[in-house]
Amino acid sequence: MLSALRYALVLALLVSSQVFADDRTIADGVYTDAQAESGEALYEQHCLICHDKKYFRPVLKRWEGQPLGMMYLIMSSSMPESNPASLRQQEYVDILAYVLSLSRYPSGDTALDYQDGALDKITVVPRKR
Ligand code: HEC
């Protein structure tokens, strides 16, 4: 897990220069309801045993101002702690959509996509009120 984290941090330094160029944020409806639903089932199967549904609120808070891609990278390379990186990329991104829905970020028309650095162009911000 440690080496995965270190890898993620190095990558963060590499991408951080591009990150703030784009102004999409997680408050802009960046996932679909269908995706969050699929993520919920996966979450219950793979994550709930260690993380209750309130776990991610402070996590998202800590990531504010950072690209969502960073949180995704850490999650997908080090979780589940008992079997890191054992899920498919599509499954991790669906779980991430569910995590956003848990903290009541709005859904939208386009699914959250892990490809082509798309997640690096979405910044973690507080929810709009
Ligand atoms: C066997 C227990 C276990 C399972 C299963 C597990 N985790 Fe974790 N997770 C941990 C521990 C331990 C930490 C680090 C300590 C902490 O922050 O609670 C952690 C930390 C995290 C973090 C915090 C990263 C940060 O920014 O601080 C995220 C996000 C996360 N897990 C997501 C997931 C997801 C998604 C799943 C399911 C795919 C999952 N975890 C399954 C034990 C687990």
pLDDT in tens, 71-112: 999 999 999 999 999 999 999 999 999 999 999 999 999 999
Whole-structure pTM value: 0.87
108 inside domain: yes
pLDDT tens by residue, 15-70: 554 555 557 999 999 999 999 999 999 999 999 999 999 999 999 999 999 999 99
Nearest alpha carbon, ligand 1 atom 12: 81
CATH number of the domain bearing residue 67: 1.10.760
Ligand 1 near 74 CB (within 6 A): yes
CA distance 120 to 17: 11
The domain of 40 spans 2-123
CA distance 67 to 56: 16
93 inside domain: yes
46 inside domain: yes
128 inside domain: no
Is residue 80 reached through a cis peptide bond, with omega within 30 degrees of 0 on the bond before it? yes
Query: 27 near 103, Cβ under 8 Å?
Result: no
- Ligand 1 centroid–CA 75 distance in Å is 7
Nearest alpha carbon, ligand 1 atom 43: 81
Ligand 1 near 82 CB (within 6 A): yes
116 inside domain: yes
Q: How many domains does the chain have?
A: 1
Ligand 1 near 59 CB (within 6 A): yes
Which residues are CB-neighbours of 45 under 8 A, at least 6 positions away? none
